[in-house]
Amino acid sequence: MTTADTPRFDAPLGPLDGRYRPTVAPLAGHLSEAALNARRVHVEVEWLIHLTASGAVPGLRTLTDAEVALLRSVAADFDDASVAELAETERVTLHDVKAVEYYVKKRMENGSLADLLEIVHLFCTSEDVNNLSYALMVRDAVHQVWLPAATALVEQVEGMARDLRALPMLARTHGQPATPTTLGKELAVLAHRLRRQLKRIAAAEFLGKLNGATGTFSAHVVGAPDADWPTVSRTFVEGLGLTWNPLTTQIESHDWQAELYADVARFNRVLHNLCTDVWTYISIGYFVQVRGQGTVGSSTMPHKVNPIRFENAEANLEVSNALLDVLGSTLVTSRLQRDLTDSSMQRNIGTAFGHSLLALDNVRRGLSGLDADPAALARDLDETWEVLGEAVQTVMRIHGLDQPYERLKELTRGRRIDAAGMREFVEGLGLPGDVEKRLVELTPGTYTGIADELVDFLDS
Catalytic residues: 174, 298
Reference 202, options 194, 210, 190; nearest CA is 194
Quick check: 316 and 309 in contact, CB under 8 A? no
Burial of 328 (0-12, 13-18, 19+ CB in 10 A): buried
Helix, strand, coil share of the chain (percent; to 5): 65, 5, 30
In this structure, what DSSP letter does residue 64 have?
P
Phi, psi of 413 (to 5 degrees): -70, 130
Distance CA 67, CA 112 (A): 8
459 Rama class: left (phi>0) / alpha (psi -120 to 50) / beta: alpha
Phi, psi of 432 (to 5 degrees): -55, 150
Reference 137, options 47, 25, 36, 49; nearest CA is 36
State the greatest distance between any 2 C-alpha atoms of the chain, in Å, as a whole number: 101
Distance CA 445, CA 374 (A): 11
